[in-house]
Amino acid sequence: MANKHIRFDWAAKKMLRDKKNFGILEGFLSELLKEDIKIEGLLESESNQDHEDDKFNRVDLYAENSKGEHIIIEIQNTRELDYLMRMLFATSKAVTEYLDIGDAYSRIKKVIAVSIVYFGLAKGDDYIYTGQTKFVGLHTHKELQLTKAQQKLFKKTTIHQTYPEYYLIRTTKFNDIINDTLDEWIYFLKNSEVLDSFRAKGMNEVREKLNVHNLPEADRKRYNKFLENLHTEASIAETIKFEREEHELKMEEKLIAETKKKEIEVTKNIAINFIKLGLNDDQVSAGTGLTTEEVQKLRNELNTNE
């Protein structure tokens, strides 16, 4: 049995910023990253501000875990063709945002970027992708390693552990087949439902705190308005897509018509040249594909003009 719960993006905007609800974020991140994550707090960042306008279709959370790593969680509903580049921009900004002037580069915080998108993004069949930066020998094909001194300085064992990591979750590609506890979270992200069988870390907090029926009346009204806005956005996006396809179809039909017209003109000019060369109507028809009636008409027009 499933119970309807608050969408994760609305919760991230309105509820998950509260320390008493960090257990929900910790549960999700622990299942995704395959390690116990403890959120120490949200970081003050321009991208981490609460937006009063519920029509805002992107939600950003910027947190720090117990290891001092910075975690960006971005949730995007509306399609953006260049979204992958915006992921890069947000991560690059996070890398430098908390490095004080004069600090050594070794003090740069590790950044983990988690993007949850509700639209088709790029080509691929999986619903979760990860990305890391690795330096691989052009000739040896072996990964570059940290020295012992660097491992001690960075508190990491490999180079790619010091660089940003990306996790891209494409909810539209999830087929609702649950194979593990991470899939329980993806199912919730996609459907805003929690099945009775779910045992993933953080799911008990989701059941308790994100149940729609537990919302105060004022918040429930705001949440329903948020859902209405999402439906409106989806309708607008669908309308734009339909109008674009309709316009493209009309342009294609126009191009076909113009091409056909040009082909007819070329064929007529060839037929006229054949007539001038002295070929009879049947020969011109066979050489151009025009009917004998069309050839006769061209011959009469040519005689008239002469």
pLDDT recorded at residue 3 = 65
| β 39-42/58-65 pair status | antiparallel
pLDDT recorded at residue 213 = 80
How far apart CA 286 and CA 300 sit, in angstroms, is 19
What is the domain partition of the chain in residue ranges?
2-214, 239-305
Interval 211-256: pLDDT, tens: 888 788 888 888 888 788 777 777 777 788 788 888 888 888 889 9
pLDDT recorded at residue 113 = 95
Cβ atoms of 159 and 107 closer than 8 Å: no
Residues in contact with 207: Cβ distance below 8 Å, sequence separation at least 6, in sequence order: 3, 5, 194
| Under-70 pLDDT residues of the chain | 1-3, 45-58, 306
Cβ atoms of 126 and 173 closer than 8 Å: yes
pLDDT recorded at residue 173 = 95
How far apart CA 123 and CA 110 sit, in angstroms, is 28
pLDDT recorded at residue 178 = 97
Number of helices (H) and strands (E) in the chain: give both, helices first: 9, 8
Three-state SS at 36: coil
Tokens found for residue 94 = 């996070």
pLDDT recorded at residue 212 = 84
pLDDT recorded at residue 48 = 57
pLDDT recorded at residue 295 = 87
Q: Which of 109, 108, 98, 44 is nearest to 70 (CA)?
A: 109
pLDDT recorded at residue 53 = 47
Cβ neighbours, 10 Å, residue 248: 10
| β 193-195/2-4 pair status | antiparallel
pLDDT recorded at residue 56 = 46
Cβ atoms of 110 and 33 closer than 8 Å: no
Burial class (CB in 10 A: 0-12, 13-18, 19+), 8: buried
Backbone angles phi, psi at 228, to 5 degrees: -60, -40
pLDDT recorded at residue 247 = 84
Q: Is the pTM of this model over 0.75?
A: no
Residue with tokens 């960075």: 154
pLDDT recorded at residue 54 = 43
pLDDT recorded at residue 306 = 63
